[in-house]
Amino acid sequence: MSLPIVAILGRPNVGKSTIVNRLAETKGAIVFDEPGVTRDRTYQPAYWRDREFLVVDTGGLIFDDDTEFLPLIRQQAMAALAEASVAIFVVDGQEGPTTADEEIATWLRQQSVPVLLTVNKCESPEQGMAQAAQFWSLGLGEPYPVSGIHGNGTGDLLDEALKHLPPQEELPETSEIKVAIVGRPNVGKSSLLNAFVGENRAIVSPISGTTRDSIDTVVEREGQTYRLIDTAGIRKKKHIEYGPEFFSINRAFKAIRRADVVLMVLDALDGVTEQDQKLAGRIADEGRACIIVVNKWDAVEKDAYTIYDYGEQVKSRLQFTEWAPLIFVSAETGQRVEKILELVNTAAEQHKRRVTTSVINEVLEEAGNWHSPPTTRQGRQGRIYYGTQVSTQPPTIALFVNEAKLFNDNYRRYIERQFRESLGFTGTPIRMIWRSKK
Ligand code: GDP
Ligand code: GDP
């Protein structure tokens, strides 16, 4: 579910960076002046029509055997190609085909990635066709004349590139949401399940899960289908002889792994135990959306402050899932049970939410204006160049920075908080990847 990648390659000075800058969103794009052949690949977000993708510049390809860095350069180009959906091979239309171009072409023909042969520096349309035609000899199909400087031809090139990107995943609105109900024995998981099933008469049918011993229950409510995962374990439990101390954490872990949203059920009378903390840690590690359901609320003596105080206490003891909303329910009386599914809907939506690069960069800019990144004693300061969401479920944001280690945990948490404050992400963890660009 990550963004597709378009790789740009070619020998030095053909205009690769000029083309990358034209394709990529220029705002916040990283410009490298160092001529170093060892430089890292640079990823830049780009859009064309309705598609978002990353453009990766492989650095200048040199196939001269005298080059000290030859294996390294090739390795980098290979790495870039391995993850790319399509490669743009840039050549210089004013110079015509060179030996180096032929060498790269020979090598590219052995790779499996589709290649778009791009003849740069074709400023005039008439000459451009003739300039481009010289490159049929490379055996890479039709050459596309473009001018990186003026932009001619780049639209056609991008149209062609889009054809090679993997189809955009489109999740139908009514797709089912997989929900795991986990928690210690006796917190009320089966009572909750019965409450869901009871209030939502439209049970489709119990459906066998992927493993032999697990059974899912499918429930429908207001056009949305919910698959309640591995509920056999919950229902059968009563007939099996094991004490309340027995806690099948493996079963819970398996259910968490299969879920989109986890309902983590607590017993209001017991509060948060160590086992609950372990489950919360796993939910966060697996990147699942989560709602904390405090059950048996009917059995708690309360005044006007109880909910607030109780909530604060739970949050402070479940730090791994501090982003998860809390709901106080009673499976026995049915109080607020229906509301749980509303929270599930929101969390599932946020879990697969995609935020555009421009919005992410607005948040980053705003965050940086309030608090600049820390400066070390040596006077070195972290710098965030830009960010882009690279995948969903959970939302994962890559931040391209000068040096990741200049950002301490405090600042990282601050940035995450800014994303949550500006963009919500209720009920889903978000992941941040700090990538050094050096
Ligand atoms: P790279 O080494 O392949 O990344 O090449 P650069 O993008 O740094 O460009 C190399 C040189 O070619 C620079 O002097 C650019 O100004 C020039 N250049 C790039 N694109 C064009 C173009 O479309 N037309 C012309 N005439 N020159 C270009
Ligand atoms: P499970 O082991 O997590 O599936 O828990 P059960 O659903 O079997 O419930 C364990 C016990 O808690 C049973 O005796 C239930 O009647 C009781 N219980 C479940 N939900 C509630 C609730 O909302 N309020 C109260 N007071 N008791 C509940």
Taking only the tens place, the pLDDT of each residue in 222-247 is: 888 898 886 666 654 455 555 444 45
Kind plus residue range of the DSSP H or E element containing 409: helix 409-423
What is the distance in A from the centroid of ligand 2 to the CA of 14? Answer: 71
The C-alpha atoms of residue 32 and residue 24 are separated, in whole angstroms, by 14
120 CB under 6 A from ligand 1? yes
Q: What is the pTM of this model?
A: 0.61
The C-alpha atoms of residue 185 and residue 188 are separated, in whole angstroms, by 8
Beta bridge partners, 294, equal 266, 328
What is the distance in A from the centroid of ligand 2 to the CA of 249? Answer: 19
How confident is the model at residue 117, as a pLDDT?
97
Span 11-18, average pLDDT: 88
Span 379-404, average pLDDT: 90
* Contacts of 365 by beta carbon, 8 Å cutoff, 6+ apart: none
How confident is the model at residue 234, as a pLDDT?
63
What is the distance in A from the centroid of ligand 1 to the CA of 194? Answer: 68
DSSP 357-400: HHHHHHHHHHHHHHSPPPB-TTS-B--EEEEEEEETTTTEEEEE
Angle between helices 16-23 and 154-163 (to 10 degrees): 70
Span 347-375, average pLDDT: 93
Residues written for the chain: 438
The C-alpha atoms of residue 161 and residue 48 are separated, in whole angstroms, by 10
**400 vs 140 pLDDT, higher one:** 140
Residue bearing the CA closest to ligand 1, atom 22: 121
How confident is the model at residue 328, as a pLDDT?
97
The C-alpha atoms of residue 382 and residue 404 are separated, in whole angstroms, by 8
In the predicted structure, residue 314 carries a pLDDT above the cut 60: yes
How confident is the model at residue 214, as a pLDDT?
53
Q: Is the bond preceding residue 4 a cis peptide, omega within 30 degrees?
A: no
Residue bearing the CA closest to ligand 2, atom 19: 188
**204 vs 221 pLDDT, higher one:** 221
Span 101-106, average pLDDT: 90
Dig out the tokens for 231 from the structure: 């509920």
What is the distance in A from the centroid of ligand 1 to the CA of 18? Answer: 6
How confident is the model at residue 61, as a pLDDT?
66
Residue bearing the CA closest to ligand 1, atom 18: 15
Pocket perturbation via mutation, ligand 2, pick of 181, 187, 190, 191 by most ligand atoms within 8 A of CB:
191
User: Shortest CA distance to 81 belongs to which of 5, 2, 14?
Assistant: 5
User: Shortest CA distance to 136 belongs to which of 93, 179, 75?
Assistant: 93
How confident is the model at residue 367, as a pLDDT?
95
Whether this model's ipTM surpasses 0.85 comes out as no
Query: Which atom from ligand 1 is nearest to the alpha carbon of 11?
Result: 3
Closest ligand (CA of 14): 1
| pLDDT grade for 352, boundaries at 50, 70 and 90 | very high
> Would you say 268 and 294 are in contact if contact means Cβ atoms under 8 Å apart?
yes
